[in-house]
Every structure is written in structure tokens, then in C-alpha cells.
Amino acid sequence: MASLSEDKLCEDRLALQERALLALKALPPFSPILNRLLASLATEDVSFIKLGDLIEKDPVLAGNLLHMVNSALYARRGTINSVRHALSLLGINKLRNVVLGMSITRMWNQVHTPPTWSMARFNMHSSACAILCDLLAQRLTVNYAEGAFVSGLLHDVGRLLIALGLPEEYGRILQVYEAGGKTLLACEKEVIGFTHPELSTEALILWKLPEPIQNAVRHHHSPDTDPTARPNEVALSRVLEAANQYVNSMGVSILKKCPDDADASLVESLGLSSEQLQVLLAEFRSEFDAMSAFFN
């Protein structure tokens, strides 16, 4: 039987978690196109015509998309000046990732955050993880590879919710972390009794995202405990962990102080040859440089 003190700690933890999740209400509502794209992750039933219609109704999104397609990354002879042409060039999966990234970043940028939080760093870190996670999943045998980009994009939403819903506790987490000697997860556990991957997962459940994405986010700091890992397959949680660690090692971190234990070498353990990895990382750098202008 749990002691009274243990019961109280559990009640306090659940109360804090509930307060943090209430911060979801402070986020702007999903746009029609964002709702459609997130739903497509479960059904894979998206038509170019319907997607084009939705994008064309959003002048800012359409303009950013055309700017992206006409950038050096996707440059082709002649200027692409229609959304339909852009869709045909990018393909449905790449288009979905680009528009998801732009839409979610724009949503985040409408949120009022405490002074200790940098939305620009959050956007840059999340988008970099999304791009690298997706590129890795394309080249590996990964369960639910189509969810890799969104897993990377939303893996740290729990950190945002802690900053929004629990600003005092978030400040204490930062103080403990900046004092050194503990991981961010250990600091979260000490101050609020739960970690940001747990909170991120709860948010994804409320948003009704597919279970493989929820699972990857839940275990992205501990893929060895992922119960869905299968033989002869790389777990999506492990791909997300490797992408997250690599991006942090680049200095693209949510906090000014990058994690001391960021391990860029994890991407080398996923099974790609050194030549394959070299080509992939070059593609990642090019794609991230091209897209980063839209994620800050």
C-alpha cells in the first residue's frame, strides 16, 4: 500500500500534468489544411486537387510554398508560379511535410511565451529533427516511416507545454539544469514529477495522431525500452533519438546551453554505410538551410 506521502506526490504530479495540458487551449486552432494533413497520416487518402484547393485559399502558405519550390534546393528551369505545378514537382509526401512544417510553425509563432522560452530556437530544432528523421526513415527499414517527419516536428511539444502551462516550475527546471550535473529529463522529473516525452505523448493522443507516432515520441529518449521494436527493423523511436542527438550536437538546440551529452555518432549506428550517411547528411544540410528561413 502506498504511503500518504506517495499518494500526495502522485496527486501533485497529476495536477501539474493537467495544468500543463490545459496550455493546449492557449494554442490557436488547427487550420483546415493542417487538420486535413494530420488526418492523412492515418488514412493516406489525400488528393492533389483537394490539397491544392486548400493551399490556394491561404495566400501566405501558397506564397511560402512557391518560394520554397523556386529556391536553390528545388530549382528547375523556369519559375514555378502555380500551386498545382509545385505539387506535381514535390510529390504528395514531400509536399505534406513542407506544408505541415510551415503550418505548425506559424501556429506556434502566434503563442505568447515566457521570456525564458525562445520560439525561434524551438522551431529551428523541431524542423531540423523532422527533416533528418524523415531522410533517415526513407533509407532504413522503419515501422511507419511516413510518420517520421511529424514525429520529429512534434517530439518536444511537451517542453513548450511545460513552459506555457507551468512557467514557475519551468524556471526551476532551467535553474537545476543550468547548475549542471543532471540531464534535462532528470531535472523535469525532480521538479514536476514527469518528463516532456510523457507530456508530448499525451498531447499527441488528444490530437488523435497515429499510435506509432505517439510511441516514437514517448520513447525518443529511451528507445531501448520501446516495446514495439521488432527484429530486422529500426524502431522509429531510435531514428528520432538519433536525429535529435545529431541536431543538438550541431548546436541547434531549444536552450542556449546545448546538451553536454549530445551524441552525433548515433546516426552511424542505424545501419547505413559511411557513403550513404555522407550523402544523406549533405542532403539534410541543404534541405535544412533552404527550409530554415520559414521556421524562425
> Domain map of the chain by residue range?
4-26+114-294, 28-110
Q: Give the pLDDT confidence score for residue 78 in this predicted structure.
A: 65
pLDDT tens sequence across 103-152 = 888 888 888 888 889 999 999 999 999 999 999 999 999 988 989 999 99
pLDDT tens sequence across 149-207 = 999 999 999 999 999 999 999 999 999 998 888 999 999 999 999 999 999 999 999 99
pLDDT tens sequence across 267-290 = 999 999 999 999 999 999 988 887
pLDDT tens sequence across 245-275 = 999 999 999 998 777 778 889 999 999 999 9
pLDDT tens sequence across 21-55 = 999 888 888 887 788 777 777 665 666 677 778 78
Q: State which amino acid sits at residue 115.
A: P
For the chain, helix (H) and strand (E) counts, in that order, are 15, 0
Q: Give the pLDDT confidence score for residue 236 in this predicted structure.
A: 96
Averaged over 80-100, what is the pLDDT? 81
Q: Which residues on neighbouring strands pair with residue 234, listed in sequence order?
A: 142
pLDDT above 90: percentage of residues in the chain:
50
The CATH architecture of the domain made up of 4-26+114-294 is Orthogonal Bundle (1.10)
